[in-house]
Each structure stands twice: as C-alpha cells, then as structure tokens.
C-alpha cells in the first residue's frame, strides 16, 4: 500500500505529517512512502535523509495524491487538490468537520474514506494517537514563553542589594492540556500561578503543579462525558465574571486556553475587566483561532487596550514546527497502525472499534 503526503501551504502551516523516523516505521510494516520534493527542507530535513530509508519523491503533487492509498496531512488541502481524490482512497488529518462540511460532503459522495483525528475519543487506548493533547501541550508551553517575551518585567522574585523585585502573577484561564502545561512552565520560571476552569476535576491537577485554583462559590461541574468543557449557565457565568474581575486587577500575565469543540470560543475576559488591569500586563489568547477568549483578541495581531497587550496567533505551533511535527507524525502513525491489517496489507475500517467509528466522517 502507498501512503503519501505533500507540503502544506507554508504561509499557514509549517508542520509536516511524516518525519524520517516515522517514514522508517511505515516502511517496516509494509507501506511505500511517497512525498513531494523538499518535503521537510524548511525544517532542516533533506530529501536525502528520507531517500536513505527508502522514501520515494516526486515533483508532481497531483501524482502523489492520485497514486496514494492513504493521504496524510495536517489539515484539508485546496479544493483543486482535494478534487484529485477518488473512490476507495483514504484521507487523514485534522479536517475540522464543523467548518468544512461542504468540502467533506463532496468527498464523501465520491466515497473517499475521511478520518478527522481531533474527533478521537478520550479513552486510554487512543492516548498515543491524541493529536489534540500532543499539540496543545506544546502550545501551552509556547504561549507562556511568548507572553513572557512581551512582559517588560522579570518573572521570578529577585532579592538584590538594590531591593526586591516581586514575582510576576500569572492567571491561566482553562486548565485542559494546554492550560496545565502553561501552569507548569510559568511555575518553573518562577511565577506565582493561578488558574480557573469550569471543570472541578481540574482543581487537583492545577494544585499538583503548584498553581492556586480559583473556585466560584457553589460551582457546578461543567464537563462532558468525553472530558471536554461545556457551556456554563448564566448564573455561573456571572459568578465567574465577578471572581475574574477582582483577580485580574492584580494579575500581570493571562494565558487564555478556553475552547468549546465546534463553537466560537467563549468571551471570558470582557472590556471592563481589561480596563481594570494594570498597564503593562499581557494577555496571550490561545483561543484566537476560534474568535478568542477576550473582547479584543485578533489573531496574528497585538492589540493594546488601556496599556494591556492582547495577543494571539492562528497557529502558534508554526513557532515550534520541528517538535510539533515529531509528535503529530507519531500520533498519525499510531492511528494508521490501528487501522492497518498487517497480515492482509490493507485497511480494516472496523466500525466496532470505537477509535475508528468516532473519527470516520460519515
């Protein structure tokens, strides 16, 4: 069987879906690997590194898509390239079915098998394939580093003969994978860290990392069966707003990570809250790609309000493409290995397997 991948649009996506380490694994279980020329060159990986382990290259991206049994990418390709897919081929990536319904419906009509990895169930067996966790982990780390770069004071407490510099106070909004990594990173760098989340299960995790969990009095547990956050009631939102308003007055850096799958990101930090923050504070909004958690977030822009810098990017992982590609490629391989019948050298789309059933776009 042939597995193929072509370069993403470099303006938006620098990650790759097949690294040399993973190409070797595909070949070892019986796949032919086909990549477009200079596939990993922008990450410092030459075509020769791939060729040495048996990968085949082509300058014709159309040929790669046409001949592949499985095409693996980060996201959906252009309409023109997607039109090259035919019945029986399999396309795997982060397909964002909520926003790309029309494109995916066209492919389903052509009987292309579509798997979207962000739909993986949160079960133990799927952990090694969980692209949301592996990528969010890196995003949480990088958001802290980026926000610290724009904060014009020291982060840890420093006691000197000239006086004491107090430690920076950091608030992490949303204690999922990205938020927990942000807490750990900020704590390691000497910050005083606070966190808030609608899921009460997060309290223990936040405290185990040395953060202080901010709890709304009479809080309700807003967690879906799949482990994601769900929308809060109006009463809960009001209590949370009051708590945040008071907390933000003494916070230096805010990392926002709150997302609801398939919906616009909830606006948690309102205009009046930002107006009450200290000038020189920084907000880094990881939810920017889905509209942002603040009233002023604009993806790929730095907005300044009342002396507070608000920033976010469409794809923060473009700033860590080597590490992000390494993890994504491993997740992808683990998913395909589960889908692949090694004995008969073909895909086995077994809908009794929860992992396959949940990720297949029907």
Residue (of 112, 58, 116, 115) closest to 85 by Cα position: 112
Contact criterion met (CB below 8 Å) for 355 and 43: no
Annotated active-site residue in 60, 99, 105, 127 = 127
Cβ burial, residue 265 (10 Å; 0-12/13-18/19+): buried
Annotated active-site residue in 188, 228, 323, 353 = 228
Quick one: how far is CA 57 from the chain centroid? 29
> Known catalytic residue: 133?
yes
> Known catalytic residue: 127?
yes
Annotated active-site residue in 32, 83, 122, 188 = 122
Contact criterion met (CB below 8 Å) for 324 and 317: yes
Residue (of 74, 163, 121, 18) closest to 353 by Cα position: 121
252 phi, psi to nearest 5 deg: -95, -40
Residue (of 302, 303, 285) closest to 293 by Cα position: 285
> Known catalytic residue: 328?
no
> Known catalytic residue: 130?
yes
Annotated active-site residue in 133, 135, 205, 281 = 133
Q: Under the phi-then-psi rule, with left for phi > 0, alpha for psi from -120 to 50, and beta for the rest, what region is 27?
A: alpha
What distance separates the 2 farthest-apart alpha carbons in the chain? 73
Annotated active-site residue in 15, 89, 130, 325 = 130
Distance CA 58, CA 249 (A): 57
Residues noted as catalytic: 122, 127, 130, 133, 228
């Amino acid at each position: 069987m042939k597995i193929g991948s072509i370069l993403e649009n470099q303006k938006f996506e620098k990650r790759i879906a097949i690294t040399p380490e993973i190409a070797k694994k595909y070949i070892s279980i019986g796949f032919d690997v086909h990549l477009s020329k200079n596939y990993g060159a922008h990450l410092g990986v030459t075509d020769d590194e791939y060729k040495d382990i048996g990968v085949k290259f082509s300058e014709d991206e159309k040929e790669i898509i046409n001949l592949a049994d499985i095409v693996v990418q980060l996201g959906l390709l252009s309409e023109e390239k997607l039109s090259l897919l035919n019945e029986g081929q399999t396309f795997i990536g982060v397909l964002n079915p909520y926003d790309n319904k029309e494109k995916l419906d066209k492919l389903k009509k052509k009987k292309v098998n579509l798997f979207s990895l962000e739909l993986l169930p949160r079960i133990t067996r799927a952990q090694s394939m969980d692209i949301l966790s592996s990528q969010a982990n890196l995003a949480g780390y990088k958001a802290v580093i980026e926000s610290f770069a724009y904060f014009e004071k020291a982060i840890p407490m420093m006691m000197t003969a000239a006086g004491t510099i107090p430690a920076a106070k950091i608030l992490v909004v949303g204690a999922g994978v990205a938020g927990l990594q942000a807490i750990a990173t900020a704590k390691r760098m000497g910050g005083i860290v606070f966190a808030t989340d609608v899921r009460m299960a997060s309290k223990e995790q936040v405290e185990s990392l040395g953060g202080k969990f901010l709890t709304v009095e009479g809080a309700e547990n807003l967690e879906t069966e799949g482990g994601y956050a769900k929308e809060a009631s109006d009463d809960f939102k009001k209590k949370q707003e009051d708590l945040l308003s008071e907390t933000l007055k003494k916070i230096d850096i805010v990392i926002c990570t709150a997302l609801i799958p398939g919906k616009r990101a909830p606006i948690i930090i309102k205009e009046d809250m930002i107006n009450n923050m200290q000038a020189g504070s920084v907000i880094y909004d990881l939810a920017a790609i889905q509209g942002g958690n603040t009233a002023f977030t604009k993806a790929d822009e730095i907005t300044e309000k009342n002396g507070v810098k608000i920033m976010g990017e469409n794809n923060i992982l473009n700033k860590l493409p080597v590490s992000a590609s390494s993890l994504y490629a491993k997740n992808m391989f683990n998913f395909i290995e589960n889908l692949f019948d090694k004995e008969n050298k073909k895909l086995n789309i077994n809908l009794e397997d929860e992992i396959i059933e949940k990720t297949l776009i029907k």
